[in-house]
Amino acid sequence: MLKRWMLIFAILTFGALAVGAEDGEWKQLFNGKDLTGWKHVGPGKMYVEDGLIKTDGGMGLLYWTGGKVSDCAIRVVFRMRDKNDNSGVFIRIPLEPREEWMPVHYGYEVQIDNEPEKSKEDDYHYTAGLYSLTKPLVKAGKPGPEWNTMEITLDGPRTIVVLNGQKVTDYTEGQPVPERKFDFEPQQGRRPDKGWFGLQNHSKDDVVFYKEVAMKSLKK
Amino acid sequence: MRRLIMLLAIVLVTATATPTMAAEWKQLFNGKDLTGWKQVGPGHFEVENGLLKTVGGMGLLYYTGGKISNSVIRVVFKVTQASDNSGVFIRIPVEPREEWMPVHYGYEAQIYEAGDERHCTGVLYSLTTAAARAAKPPGEWNTMEITLDGPHTVVVLNGTKVTDYTEGQPVPERTKDFEPQRGTRPNAGYIGLQNHPHEDKTDSGVFFKEVAIKKLGH
């Protein structure tokens, strides 16, 4: 009798441990073959070629259809086709996107652009910064065709971006941001703790390849 | 005994009075200034002789009191000419910061008598077909009552039902860039008034006398 109880106890304990471990593991959101689980809005498109997601035209957004995410890390492995190209990872989008501008004004874009000065933009528009809102702590972007690993941590109202092992952004909702300078820059204001996320295709001259998009829950 | 009867009477009167109060009209425009409202996008609204007047645009003056559901919204307005353009936005899912999110994720109960049956006063802009053309001529006051009953939207213009739409019912395909994206709208949302210029950029002379809401009685 006691043995049976111990067995049940062991199974229960194991089960609980297993679930916890799963929560903290990386889940691949891009299957390497097609865009299952993703949806595109706005101009241009994305497609899969040689196991990579490739941007084409724009400006548009390929968003993950699995719903809002929070308290997690998002890992994106990307490279530019040329020495520099423009793209971005959108996070904290409050509504399921139907077009490309709501994500800009109500979410954040974690920027991908190592040469913002070439489009007359300042350091607040550099890779791994929150576009137009935060200044990079370090410039850690690698030019094309080298691979970059970007990890975005969404910890409640705090957003941390680590690019190639170096922390570039550490922003908590409510901290001051510079004034808006251009029409196409995001509207200011608080972003939600939970949001949809996606990858930007910026223009026909900007081609960026994505090898991996993965997500892991934060262990709390 | 008398005291008891008195008490009972007070209790009864209070009990009857409360539901009546809950179903009373609440004025959202105070007739004097834009307290409780906020403008996003180009242009603005002015208060002139106790009326809200649209200037420039396209922008949106939204009510800052939060999301509204299961309510009737009453708007009393007039236009100066048939080509004047405005609208009442409803079911906006998040607090607006600019003028386009409300278009694509909310509805506009249209004000524009020069429009066809899917773009005229009282329809959900580009999505529903007018059951009747019920607008008064320019210069006369119109009363628009928009009922938000869960996912059900009814627009009554001057006593005539123009729109009766429930989420999920079919809508025509989107034909223009500036038409709203299709898809369901939330039961609860922010509301607002549109300032929209004429095609030649001149001001639409649309005036609002009253904006009020009443909770539905169920």
pLDDT, tens digit (0-9, with 9 covering 90-100), for A27-41: 999 999 999 999 999
Per-residue model confidence (pLDDT) at position B21: 53
Nearest to A84 by CA among A207, A210, A212: A207
- Chain A residues in contact with B94 by the CB 8 A cut-off are 94-95, 106
The predicted-structure confidence for A68-78, as pLDDT tens digits, reads as follows 999 999 999 99
Q: Rounded to whole angstroms, how far apart are CA atoms B196 and B19?
A: 39
pLDDT exceeds 60 at position B19: no
- The yes-or-no verdict on residue B169 having pLDDT over 50 is yes
Complex ipTM = 0.87
Q: What is the pLDDT of residue B129?
A: 98
For the stretch B44-52, contacts whose Cβ atoms lie closer than 8 Å and that sit 24 or more positions apart, written own/partner, are B44/B195, B45/B193, B45/B195, B48/B207, B50/B209, B51/B207, B51/B208, B51/B209, B52/B193, B52/B207, B52/B208, B52/B209, B52/B211
User: Does residue B100 sit at the A interface (CB-CB below 8 Å)?
Assistant: yes
Residues of chain B in contact with residue A188, where contact means CB-CB under 8 angstroms, are 97
In angstroms, the CA A86 to CA A211 distance is: 16
The reply to whether residue A98 touches residue B105, judged by beta carbons under 8 angstroms, is: yes
CB A19: neighbour CB atoms within 10 A? 9
Residue in A94, A101, A189 closest to B100 by CB: A101
pLDDT of residue B175: 94
Beta bridge mates, B213: B26, B73
pLDDT at residue A3, rounded to an integer: 59
The pTM for the full model equals: 0.89
Helix (H) or strand (E) holding A104: helix A101-106
pLDDT above 50: residue B112: yes
- Per-residue pLDDT tens for A93-137? 999 999 999 999 999 999 999 999 999 999 999 999 999 999 999
Residue in A closest to B93 by C-alpha = A95
Contact present, B195 and A113 (Cβ < 8 Å): no
Contact A30, A213 (CB under 8 A): yes
Distance (Å, rounded) from C-alpha A98 to C-alpha B159?
A: 35
Weakest mean pLDDT among A16-20, A81-85, B79-83, B115-119: A16-20
Query: Rounded CA gap, B185 and B182, in Å?
Result: 9
| Average pLDDT value over all residues in chain B | 93
Burial of A70 (0-12, 13-18, 19+ CB in 10 A): middle
C-alpha dist (Å) from residue A120 to A19, A79, A90, A123 = 49, 23, 22, 10
Bond from prior residue into A176 cis (ω within 30 degrees of 0): no
Instruction: Please name the residue of chain B whose CA is at the shortest distance from the CA of residue A188.
Output: B97
Mutant choice from A99, A193, A194 vs B, greatest count of B C-beta within 10 A: A99
* B74 three-class SS: strand
Handedness of CA A10, A13, A19, A22 (dihedral sign): negative
Contacts of A100 in chain B (CB under 8 A): none
pLDDT at B117 over 90: yes
Residue A92 CA from chain centroid, whole number = 9
Nearest CA in chain B to A189: B97
- SS3 assignment, position A218: coil
* pLDDT at res. B23: 76
